[in-house]
């Protein structure tokens, strides 16, 4: 597969540099100090108990723009020459890189234009505009948005800021791993989401030098798993809808691929279901808000639990910019899958007191009624009966079955 093409492909650190070094990451850390947050590196005891691994989280969802992308953007913008500052910058992003570039361009007094694909969540579009960028919506894919951004750079003279295929951006992202090594416990594994590969490239360089015993493993979401497929994952067509739009990249970058090949031991695939489960688990078990891409590392662990049992696993929560409606839907779907949200349909006699009796039975069983739909005119086969749909919150699947049995003593009940 052909990677996304970004032009110009700049290293910004040293035009002749063959690769990224730990010294570059350390220099980036000094350069961005005070401009980004040194985010907490914390244990996650509930997640550890639920998964069987000893999990440490790096909470980069707490950055000012809600994502690790601020690290690379801050470093790259700090390296602009005076002439480049006057020309302004342009970037392509589905949201997080966009906000990082917009914020740090504004802090430096540099005009910024961000090209975002049409599928970008509204929260990320409005967040990018709020940081002072000119937002241009273009294209149904990241590739189309990237091509338009390159065209704007060419015709308007702006400096293109790659979301990942730039050594300065990679060095900035690598500061995340540098902080984890300095602030956290020793790790057996570092799990890192992969879109274009900038984060895992920077992190892998740090771990190779400072913690060589730590295995660096990437995670891609199933619809965008080109790299994993080249490493042996089942082949399928790349593309399509995903809740992890932040890593919905058709392939890794030209420069990042070199570093990944040298320093990343494996790339796992996380199905969509695992990403949703990870978002729910982080919210409930760690009190952490994560978007799909931000939860991808945990999703990879959930999809491959046996591989990480008993191991010390670090993972960045690399973004928290999730649409509120999507978050609500994910949590509700999780409750349904866990059996803690029970949807029942009943044929009931159309007479006074029946609804009160059903409510009493649910209440006596300890259930909490969330929603009721009562239809007597059209849905029921008889004028002497009515159809009732009720949604009930339960403690666990066993409790849900108990509630269902209590209702079934007097009514015909179907779980839906």
DSSP H or E run through 303: helix 296-303
Residues 269 and 313: their CA atoms lie apart, in Å, by: 17
In this prediction, residue 367 has a pLDDT band, given cuts at 50, 70 and 90, of very high
Return the DSSP state at 290.
-
**Contact residues for 161 (Cβ-Cβ < 8 A; gap 6+):** 73, 76, 77, 89, 90, 91, 97, 101, 169
CB 169 within 8 A of CB 72: yes
DSSP H or E run through 190: strand 189-193
Residues 35 and 56: their CA atoms lie apart, in Å, by: 25
Which residue in the block uniquely carries the two structure tokens 């015909």?
A: 412
Residue 16, pLDDT > 50, answer no
Residues 149 and 145: their CA atoms lie apart, in Å, by: 6
Q: What is the mean pLDDT of the chain?
A: 91
First-to-last C-alpha distance (Å) of the chain:
43
pLDDT at 142: 77
How, if at all, do strands 159-160 and 341-349 pair? unpaired
- The gap from C-alpha 182 to its chain's centroid, in whole angstroms, comes to 24
Residues 341 and 328: their CA atoms lie apart, in Å, by: 14
pLDDT at 12: 45
Residue 10, pLDDT > 70, answer no
412 by Cβ neighbours in 10 Å (0-12 / 13-18 / 19+) ranks as exposed
Q: How much of the chain, in percent, has pLDDT values that exceed 90?
A: 77
Residue 2, pLDDT > 50, answer no
Please confirm whether the linkage preceding 45 is cis (ω < 30° from 0). Answer: no
Instruction: Read off the pLDDT of residues 259-284 as tens digits, 9 standing for 90 and up.
Output: 999 999 999 999 999 999 999 999 99
Residues 267 and 220: their CA atoms lie apart, in Å, by: 7
Instruction: Read off the pLDDT of residues 305-351 as tens digits, 9 standing for 90 and up.
Output: 999 999 999 999 999 999 899 999 999 999 988 889 999 999 888 88
Q: What is the 3-state secondary structure (H, E, C) of 70-99?
A: HHHHHHHHHCCCHHHHHHCEEEECCCHHHH
Higher pLDDT: 387 or 103? It is: 103
Q: How far is CA 74 from CA 18, 171, 246, in A?
A: 22, 10, 19
Residue 233, pLDDT > 60, answer yes
In this prediction, residue 382 has a pLDDT band, given cuts at 50, 70 and 90, of low
Enumerate the CATH 3.30.70.260 domain ranges in the chain, comma separated: 340-415
Question: 3-17, 139-153, 155-169, 355-369: which range is least confident on average?
Answer: 3-17
Residue 380, pLDDT > 60, answer no
CB 307 within 8 A of CB 232: no
Tokens of residue 75, six digits: 């470093």
Looking at domain 22-67+167-332, which CATH architecture does it have?
Answer: 3-Layer(aba) Sandwich (3.40)
**Which span out of 11-20, 77-86, 375-384 was modeled with the highest average pLDDT?**
77-86
Tokens of residue 107, six digits: 């802090």
What average pLDDT score do residues 64-74 get?
Answer: 96
pLDDT at 405: 93
Instruction: Read off the pLDDT of residues 156-199 as tens digits, 9 standing for 90 and up.
Output: 999 999 999 999 999 999 999 999 999 999 999 999 999 999 99
Enumerate the CATH 3.40.50.1100 domain ranges in the chain, comma separated: 22-67+167-332, 69-160
Looking at domain 69-160, which CATH architecture does it have?
Answer: 3-Layer(aba) Sandwich (3.40)
Residues 151 and 148: their CA atoms lie apart, in Å, by: 5
**Contact residues for 242 (Cβ-Cβ < 8 A; gap 6+):** 221, 222, 223, 224, 248, 272, 275, 292
pLDDT at 376: 58
CATH (one of 3.30.70.260, 3.40.50.2300, 3.40.250.10, 3.40.50.300) for 340-415: 3.30.70.260
Tokens of residue 114, six digits: 């961000």
pLDDT at 383: 53
Residue 211, pLDDT > 50, answer yes
């Amino acid at each position: 597969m052909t990677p996304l093409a970004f032009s110009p492909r700049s290293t910004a650190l040293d035009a002749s540099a063959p690769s990224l070094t730990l010294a570059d990451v350390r220099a980036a850390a000094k350069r961005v100090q005070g401009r980004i947050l040194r985010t907490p590196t914390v244990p996650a005891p509930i997640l550890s108990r639920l998964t069987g691994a000893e999990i440490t989280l790096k909470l980069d969802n707490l950055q000012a723009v809600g994502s690790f992308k601020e690290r690379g953007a801050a470093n790259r913008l700090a390296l602009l020459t005076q002439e480049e500052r006057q020309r302004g910058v342009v970037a392509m992003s589905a949201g997080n890189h966009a906000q990082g570039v917009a914020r740090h361009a504004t802090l430096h007094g540099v005009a910024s234009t961000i090209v975002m694909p049409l599928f970008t969540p509204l929260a990320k579009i409005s967040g990018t505009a709020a940081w002072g960028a000119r937002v241009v919506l273009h294209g149904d894919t990241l590739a189309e948005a990237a091509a338009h951004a390159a065209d704007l750079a060419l015709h308007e003279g702006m400096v293109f800021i790659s979301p990942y295929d730039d050594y300065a951006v990679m060095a900035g992202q690598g500061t995340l791993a540098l902080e984890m090594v300095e602030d956290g416990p020793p790790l057996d594994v570092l799990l890192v989401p992969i879109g274009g590969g900038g984060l895992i490239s920077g992190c892998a360089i740090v771990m190779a030098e400072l913690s060589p015993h730590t295995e660096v493993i990437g995670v891609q979401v199933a619809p965008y798993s080109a790299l994993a497929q080249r490493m042996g994952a089942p082949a399928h067509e790349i593309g399509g809808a995903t809740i992890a739009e932040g890593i919905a990249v058709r392939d890794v970058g030209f420069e990042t691929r070199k570093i990944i090949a040298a320093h990343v031991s494996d790339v796992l695939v996380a199905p969509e279901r695992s990403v949703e489960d990870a978002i729910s688990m982080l919210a409930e078990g760690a009190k952490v808000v994560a978007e799909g891409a931000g939860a991808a590392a945990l999703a990879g662990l959930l999809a491959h639990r046996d591989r990480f049992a008993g191991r010390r696993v670090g993972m960045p929560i690399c973004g928290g910019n999730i649409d509120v409606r999507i978050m609500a839907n994910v949590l509700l779907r999780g409750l349904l899958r866990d059996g803690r949200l029970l949807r029942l349909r009943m044929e009931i006699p159309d007479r006074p007191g029946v609804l009160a009796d059903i409510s009493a039975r649910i209440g006596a069983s300890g259930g909490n009624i969330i929603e009721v739909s009562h239809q007597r005119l059209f849905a029921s086969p008889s004028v002497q009966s009515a159809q009732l749909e009720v949604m009930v919150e339960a403690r666990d699947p066993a409790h849900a079955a108990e509630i269902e049995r209590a209702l079934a003593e007097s009514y015909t009940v179907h779980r839906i």
